[in-house]
Structure 1
Amino acid sequence: MEKSFVKQVVFEGVSTITFYNPPHNALPSHLLKKLEEEIVIAGNNDAVQVVILESGGDRTFCAGASFIELINIETEAEGLQFFSGFAKVINAMRNCPKFIVCPVQGKTVGGGVGIAAAADYCLATQFASIKLSELSIGIGPFVIEPAVSRKIGGTAMAEMTINAEQFYDPQWAKQKGLYADVFESKATLHEAVNNLVKKLKTYHPEAMQAMKSVMWKDTAHWDDLLIERAKISGRLVLSPFTKRVLQKYKTT
């Protein structure tokens, strides 16, 4: 039986952080915590020049947060803790002084879209459709909204949020600015990522760090903002409406 993990490998100036939770890379709280920690470690490692953030497996990049945990939330405090997971990962990516390159090999939903949006450079395959499904279960993509809106704009964010049951294809995501490019296969995707990283390794580290700071200007308040957003979802998930919708996701 496959096991879940978050691992980091540093080789020749590149930190590759991989997360995996079969079957669809939905992330429980302990893996989100570990992912946050590994991103911080990479950012503080002087031997690291560039970070690759990827998921394991050949199919889904990330199905968002774990529904098993979501269904079992019983208090607002538990809700806040649960929804803070992706908030802390996004803030760790934002605060990391190294460029983060993210290859998206397959479909991504909810918080996974937030990770893709928080990457400094994101590449994808033709199978990497995206969806924000939160509104359909009675909550909303509150935590990831700042990151997604920053990348694709408020209008596209609103469209995805309202059409909560629709997958948007990778070319749409490229046109909106989420993906820099889209490739036919996982092999060609990773070839492109490796070529990009090789180039970035030859650039001045201080220049890249300074440029990242400029690129993320006016986001220092996100440390507080994303936690406040997590509180909204943590409250809504306890509503009778959401509890009723979530019943159909319970396994017997």
Structure 2
Amino acid sequence: MDRILEGKVALVTGGSRGLGAVTAARLAELGADVAISYASSADKANTVVEQLKSTGARTMAIQADQADLSVARPLIDAVIAEFGKLDILVNNAGIAIQGQLVDDPELDGENYNRQWQVNVMGTIAITRAAAPKLTDGGRIIFIGSLLGSYVPFAGVADYAATKWALAGYAKGIARDLGPRNITVNVVQPGIMPTDMASDVAGELPDRDAILDMHPIRRIATLEEVADIVGFLAGPSAGYINGEAINVAGGFGI
């Protein structure tokens, strides 16, 4: 396997499970040293760290619940203290609160507000902390959602809006950081086989009907999405900037 990220240091937020864990593994396989952050699952994070070590990567796990904006700067400082620099930031951490309509009198405002705090404000805080310290020629990759571009069913307004917000933010900072040859892009998966997707599956419309809307009638694998992140982190993607790349089998075309 071509180790195109040899000598690079990456941080994957929310890297203890699901797409974050698979992405961390992919970056390590490509030669990067990889730090992951996690909110609460220390055991899962340590398991990922051991898996990453098996590739020969230097690695560490840092507890940082990004709902608390004060963790952002210490998180970035910890990565740089351990590895000496930061080249790649993958903003993966997020939560999904879905299923209620905006006019539902029982709308769980507290949880929906937390979603904004984690998905948007927490991600922005980490990006702000990382931006001045990211190496020139570095990469920032946001994990968004196809719902950031296309909303085919009800009950996802807040979640979709958090992903729209990140897509707009990414375009703005692509402008800001372009003079330093730092690229900023968004990967927008559709449905994936993750714990988070399983948690909300019962709140979505009929899954078979949703699959029927996919020209390629299946969901993405985590590896397919992680491969796109790996490509964007690598040298061949140095002129791809400010883009949102859908990995959804044509869902929404």
> Given the two structures, how large is their TM-score scaled by the length of structure 1?
0.33
Larger helix proportion of the pair: 1
Taking structure 2 as the reference length, the TM-score comes to 0.33
